């Protein structure tokens, strides 16, 4: 699970609980201007079978947490597979995409959209 906070012109993602262990990451911070798109994916999944998982954890059909390289893209995931998740498409970042779950996806989707520069 991810908790979102906002700094001056930044989005801060804190990885909570055991997800820190599974993803081998505790914190991500990125400029809001580097977010190209944000949306909710109704059935989250990582198609990493065509790529590489490193570092991280994948229990097929259960969870995906960590860094995945797939289809020439670097993706950070913290999801329970098959459940809704937020997806952020990025540019000028080490990750091309972030896919994660929060306590309130719809509220967090609106918070991010409202914070994005016009």
Model confidence, pTM: 0.92
Predicted pLDDT of residue 2? 97
Predicted pLDDT of residue 50? 60
pLDDT in tens, 32-81: 999 999 999 998 877 656 666 788 888 888 889 999 998 889 999 999 98
Predicted pLDDT of residue 111? 97
Alpha carbons 13 and 23: distance in angstroms, whole number: 13
Predicted pLDDT of residue 29? 98
């Amino acid at each position: 699970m991810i908790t979102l906070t906002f700094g001056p012109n930044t989005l801060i993602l804190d990885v909570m609980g055991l997800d820190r262990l599974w993803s081998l990451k505790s914190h991500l911070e990125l400029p809001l201007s580097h977010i190209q798109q944000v949306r909710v994916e109704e059935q989250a999944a990582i198609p990493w079978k065509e790529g590489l998982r490193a570092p991280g954890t994948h229990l097929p059909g259960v969870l995906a947490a960590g860094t995945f390289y797939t289809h020439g893209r670097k993706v950070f995931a913290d999801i329970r597979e098959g459940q809704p998740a937020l997806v952020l498409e990025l540019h000028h970042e080490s990750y091309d995409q972030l896919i994660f779950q929060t306590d309130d996806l719809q509220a967090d989707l609106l918070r991010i959209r409202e914070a994005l520069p016009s």
